[in-house]
Structure 1
Amino acid sequence: MMKMNDVAKLANVSPATVSRVICHPELVSEETRSKVLEVINQVNYKPHIVARQFRTQKTRNILVVVPDITSAFFSKVLRGIEHVALKNGYQVILGDTENNIEREKDYVDLLLQKQVDGMILLTARQDKVRLEELSTQFPLVLACEYIDGLNVPTVSIDNVSSARKATEHLISLGHTKIAHISGSINVILSRDRLRGFKQAMMSQNLEVESSYIQEGDFKFESGYHQMMKLLALEVPPTAVFAFNDEMALGAIKAAKDSGVNVPNDLAVVGFDNIKMSSINEPSITTIDQPKYEIGKKAMEILLKLINNQELHNKKIVFKDELIVRGSTRKEIDVKETLEMV
Structure 2
Amino acid sequence: MANMIDVARLANVSTATVSRVIQNPETVKEKTRTKVLKAIDELNYQPNILARYFRRTETKTILVMVPSIANNVFPQMIEGIDLVANQSGYKVLLGNTNQEPDKAYSYIEELKQKQVDGMILLTTRLDYQIISELGDDYPVVLTSDYIEGLTAPTVAIDNISSARVAVEHLLQLGHQRVGIITGPLDIPLSRDRLKGYRQALLERDIGVESVLIQEGSHSYESGYNQMQKFLALDKSPTAIFAANDTMAMGAIKAVKAHGLRVPEDVAVVGFDNIQFSAIFEPALTTIAQPFIEMGKRSMELLLKQIKGEPLEKKQHVLDTKLIIRESCGSQNQD
What TM-score range do you get, normalising by the shorter chain?
0.7 to 0.9
SS of the aligned residue for 1:72 comes to coil
Cα deviation, 1:307-329, whole Å, max 9, x if unaligned, reads 00111100000000000000012
2:57 is the counterpart of 1:57: yes
Tell me what 2:72 maps to. 72
Structure 2: state its 5+ residue gaps.
1-49
Cα deviation, 1:132-190, whole Å, max 9, x if unaligned, reads 22112110000111321111100000000000000000000000000000011111111
Tell me what 2:270 maps to. 270
Alignment of 1:231-270 (within 5 A): 231-270=231-270
Paired-residue identity, %: 50
Tell me what 2:213 maps to. 213
Tell me what 1:293 maps to. 293
Alignment RMSD? 1.5
Alignment of 1:198-209 (within 5 A): 198-209=198-209
Tell me what 1:305 maps to. 305
Give distance in 2, aligned partners of 1:111 and 1:77: 21
Is contact 2:182-2:215 (8 Å) kept? yes
SS of the aligned residue for 1:283 comes to coil
Give distance in 2, aligned partners of 1:211 and 1:162: 23
Deviation at 1:56, TM superposition (A): 6.7
Deviation at 1:295, TM superposition (A): 0.2
Give distance in 2, aligned partners of 1:125 and 1:310: 28
SS of the aligned residue for 2:73 comes to helix
Give distance in 2, aligned partners of 1:170 and 1:55: 54
Aligned length: 280
Give distance in 2, aligned partners of 1:305 and 1:147: 20
Runs of 4+ aligned residues of structure 1 deviating over 4 Å after TM superposition are 53-56
Give distance in 2, aligned partners of 1:151 and 1:188: 16
Q: Letter of the aligned partner of 1:125 in structure 2?
A: R
Is contact 1:124-1:146 (8 Å) kept? no
Cα deviation, 1:88-138, whole Å, max 9, x if unaligned, reads 111111011122233222211111111100000002322222222211211
Give distance in 1, aligned partners of 2:297 and 2:244: 22
Cα deviation, 1:289-319, whole Å, max 9, x if unaligned, reads 1000000000011000000011110000000
Alignment of 1:9-24 (within 5 A): none
Deviation at 1:226, TM superposition (A): 0.4
Greater C-alpha radius of gyration? 1
Tell me what 1:130 maps to. 130
Structure 1: state its 5+ residue gaps.
1-49, 332-341
Deviation at 1:286, TM superposition (A): 0.2
Q: Letter of the aligned partner of 1:166 in structure 2?
A: A
Give distance in 2, aligned partners of 1:270 and 1:172: 16
Structure 2 vs 1, CA of residues 55 and 121 (structure 1 numbering), >3 Å: closer, same or farther?
closer
Q: Letter of the aligned partner of 2:247 in structure 1?
A: M
Alignment of 1:96-135 (within 5 A): 96-135=96-135
Is contact 2:262-2:327 (8 Å) kept? yes
2:168 is the counterpart of 1:194: no
